[in-house]
């Protein structure tokens, strides 16, 4: 059904910390690997070893240069489905293949029903949906629905693959509808924000902005001036020191 369910109390989603992300692409690669099996598998690659490679990925990591001069910085930016509260990708779908779960808000594609008209990808400003030429259907981030409820996994592994693998701990998973959850607290403390809020899709995933730089005074305060450890050397050691200091 492409009518949106009533807003669910549970809003599962991700929080991505742009202050920490180092742009290693581990999240993108692990997502790709996990999805060689499971809900939306396989993610097809065409010509994977030759020219003209083209494949389906759910998570793409961009790198942006922000600001100019001394204030400029590089920000690595993972982009994947934001599991919006008002996803147009669900309402434009003519067959009902695109749907939002009522219990936890995860947006999914029913591959048995999808006709591959691609309209949902046109409706998504975030590029969350990609067409798989092999299966003829649309594919997107499933929020690892086959992991998070999976009783066959240990509790610690019941989180999205991208969150589990991030070596810098820049990705967090939780219930953004619960104000007391870790992710909600993080969003509140760090000023987590929506992407393209002017679109009105109300994304659930939040991005944490890079923390402000410490000014030049800050490094000076860190005790930059090193004091000499001992007295000036005499004799042979003084000569060795002078020769090696040339």
Partner 1 sequence: MNPAFSVIFFTSASGAGFGLLFLLGIFGPLGLLPSSSWFGVVAFAASFGLAVGGLISSTFHLGHPERAWRAFSQWRTSWLSREGVASVLTFVPAGLFAIGWVFFGSTGGIWAVLGLVSAVMAAITVYCTAMIYVSLKPIQRWSNGWVAPGYLLISLMTGALLLDLLLHLFGAGHWLISGLALVAVAAAWAVKTGYWRFIERTASASTPESATGLGAFGRVRLLEAPHTEENYLLKEMGFRIARKHAARLRDIAELCGFAAPLMLAGVSLISLALEAHWLGTLAALAAVLAAAVGVVVDRWLFFAEARHAVTLYYGAAEA
In the range 68-87, which residues lie near partner 1 by CB under 8 A? 68, 71-75, 77, 79
Which CB atom, from 28 or from 141, has the smaller least distance to partner 1? 28
C-alpha 110/C-alpha 246 separation (Å) is 72
CA-closest candidate to residue 210, choices 28, 61, 74, 24: 74
Give the shortest CB-102-to-partner 1 separation in angstroms. 15
Q: Which of residues 122-151 bind partner 1 (CB under 8 A)?
A: 122-127, 130-133, 135-137
Which CB atom, from 146 or from 194, has the smaller least distance to partner 1? 194
- The answer to whether 40 and 131 have CB atoms below 8 angstroms apart is no
Using DSSP's 3-state secondary structure scheme, residue 107 falls into: strand
Q: Which residues is 74 bridged to in the sheet?
A: 65
Q: Which of residues 8-47 bind partner 1 (CB under 8 A)?
A: 18, 23, 25, 28
Using DSSP's 3-state secondary structure scheme, residue 53 falls into: coil
Q: Is 219 in the site for partner 1 (CB under 8 A)?
A: no
Which CB atom, from 66 or from 240, has the smaller least distance to partner 1? 66
Start-to-end C-alpha separation, the chain: 78
Q: Is 65 in the site for partner 1 (CB under 8 A)?
A: yes
Q: Which stretch binds partner 1 (CB under 8 A): 32-40, 114-122, 165-173, 215-223?
A: 114-122
- The answer to whether 143 and 39 have CB atoms below 8 angstroms apart is no
Which CB atom, from 56 or from 204, has the smaller least distance to partner 1? 56
Q: Which stretch binds partner 1 (CB under 8 A): 89-97, 151-159, 167-175, 215-223?
A: 89-97
- Tell me which H or E stretch contains 122: helix 119-123
Q: Is 7 in the site for partner 1 (CB under 8 A)?
A: no
Q: Is 91 in the site for partner 1 (CB under 8 A)?
A: yes
C-alpha 58/C-alpha 32 separation (Å) is 7
- The answer to whether 193 and 176 have CB atoms below 8 angstroms apart is no
Q: Which of residues 196-215 bind partner 1 (CB under 8 A)?
A: 196-201, 207, 209-210
Q: Is 231 in the site for partner 1 (CB under 8 A)?
A: no
């Amino acid at each position: 059904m492409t009518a949106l369910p009533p807003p669910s109390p549970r809003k599962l989603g991700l929080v991505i910390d742009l202050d920490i992300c180092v742009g290693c692409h581990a999240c993108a690669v692990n997502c790709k690997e996990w999805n060689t099996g499971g809900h939306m598998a396989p993610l097809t690659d065409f010509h994977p070893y030759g020219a003209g490679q083209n494949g389906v990925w759910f998570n793409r990591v961009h790198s942006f240069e922000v600001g100019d001069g001394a204030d400029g910085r590089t920000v690595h930016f993972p982009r994947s489905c934001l599991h919006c509260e008002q996803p147009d990708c669900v309402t434009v779908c003519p067959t009902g293949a695109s749907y939002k779960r009522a219990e936890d808000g995860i947006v999914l594609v029913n591959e048995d029903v999808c006709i591959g008209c691609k309209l949902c990808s046109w409706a998504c400003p975030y590029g969350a949906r990609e067409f798989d030429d092999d299966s003829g259907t649309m594919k997107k981030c499933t929020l690892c629905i086959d992991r998070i409820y999976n009783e066959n996994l240990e509790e610690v592994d019941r989180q999205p693959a991208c969150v589990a693998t991030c070596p810098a701990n820049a990705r967090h998973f939780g219930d953004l509808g619960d104000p007391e959850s870790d992710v909600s607290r993080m969003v509140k403390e760090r000023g987590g924000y929506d992407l393209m809020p002017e679109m009105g899709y109300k994304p659930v995933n939040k991005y944490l902005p890079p923390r402000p730089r410490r000014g030049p005074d800050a490094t000076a305060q860190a005790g930059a001036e090193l004091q000499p450890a001992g007295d000036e050397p005499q004799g042979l050691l003084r000569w060795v020191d002078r020769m090696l200091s040339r």
